Amino acid sequence: MFFVDSHCHLNVKKFSQIAGASPKDYSVDGLLMRANSAGVKYVLNIGTELLDIDEMRSISASHGGVFHTIGIHPLEAQRHAQQYSLQDIADILNRNCNGEKLVGIGEIGLDYYYTRESEQEQKKIFELQMDIATKHDFPVVIHSRDAETDTLAILRNHKNARGVIHCFSGSRDFALKALDLGFYISFSGIVTFKNSTAMQRIVGDVPSNRLLVETDAPFLAPDPFRGKINEPAFLVHTAKKIAELRQTTEEQIARLTAENFFDLFSKAKIVGDKN
């Protein structure tokens, strides 16, 4: 039995942003060693900005069991729009849509939680990345917060798109509509929190062949580590909670979320098989 963490951030910068995370404790080698000991055999390392592309590629190249995506996070959209033209962004992403362990585009989407000030930039950069993903036949990793209607509208504009709604925290209606569009739903450590009762009910509504599990490390550590720095090894606590909510075993959740991961990120399967 093994687990796949379908969404985490292994870059040192993200860990060092969090107070108290010493680079020594959170080296990529350390994180992956602890993940492996906990049964988390594969991780998907998620890009959030153009500047991290080279780092993502080199982490994948030097570590078995690591795949990555590239993309611009919605909360990075405004900064990128100030620094680059849309054409430059498209060129850089298109030029980097290669490499044997690049398996998708993400994380991309819309986030209106803090402010809607950057709504227009977010939408433009999201659409552009949806186009690139479709063109290269890559699945997308979607970040959507307080932006369900607009997210669905853009997904619907891209008929051939496939992907996952990551760190699902939306309404039941959003989940059902995303499932209707063929999307997968990924749950993070939030599902283990006591006050997540609405989300816990949705966990049971996701069909077995569309369910994924993730840490979103270093953010959102599951109980009993809530408030601490998260890491891929903690995935098992989220998987355990999901198993409980779906009245099944952890083994079953490990098996089906791994199968779903390799179905969606089909390029990962090819590379993974060689290892």
Q: How far is the CB of 220 from Zn ion (least distance, A)?
A: 9
At residue 246, the 3 state secondary structure works out as coil
Of 104, 18, 11, 103, whose CA–CA distance to 54 is shortest? 11
Q: CB of 56 within 8 A of CB of 31?
A: no
> Helix, strand, or coil here: 102?
strand
Distances (CA, A) of 137 to 40, 118, 155, 163: 27, 28, 15, 11
Of 239 and 243, which CB lies nearer to Zn ion in the complex structure? 239
Cβ pair 11, 56 in contact under 8 A: yes
Residue number, 93 or 142, with CB nearest to Zn ion = 142
The site for Zn ion, by CB under 5 A, has a size of 1
Whole-number minimum distance, CB 248 to Zn ion, in Å?
26
Nearer to Zn ion, 65 or 74 (CB): 74
Instruction: Kindly tell me which of 76 and 216 has the beta carbon lying closer to Zn ion.
Output: 216
DSSP helix/strand/coil, 146: coil
Structure tokens given for 270: 């090819």
Shortest distance (Å) from residue 199 CB to Zn ion: 17
Closest distance of CB 87 from Zn ion, Å: 26
Applying the rule CB under 5 A, the residues between 202 and 241 that interact with Zn ion are 216
Cis check: omega of the bond before 218, within 30 degrees of 0: yes
Query: Residue 50 has which token pair?
Result: 């153009």
User: H or E element: which one contains 142?
Assistant: strand 140-145
**Minimal distance, residue 166 CB to Zn ion, in Å:** 6
What is the amino acid identity at position 213?
A: V
Phi, psi of 243 (to 5 degrees): -60, -45
Residue (230 or 260) nearer to Zn ion, CB: 230
Residue 68: CB minimum distance to Zn ion, A: 12
Q: In the complex with Zn ion, which residue's Cβ is closer, 192 or 243?
A: 192
Helix (H) / strand (E) element for 41: namely: strand 40-45
Q: Which residue, 261, 267, 234, is CA-closest to 101?
A: 267
Residue whose Cβ sits closest to Zn ion: 216
* Least distance from Zn ion to the Cβ atom of residue 219, Å: 7
Give the H or E element holding residue 103: strand 102-111
- String marking each residue 107-146 x if it binds Zn ion according to CB under 5 A: ----------------------------------------
Give 216 or 231: the residue with its C-beta nearer to Zn ion.
216
Binding to Zn ion, residues 58-77 (CB under 5 A): none
Which CB sits closer to Zn ion, 217 or 243? 217
**Nearest distance from C-beta of residue 99 to Zn ion, angstroms:** 20
Query: How does strand 184-187 pair with strand 3-8?
Result: unpaired
List of residues contacting Zn ion (CB under 5 A): 216
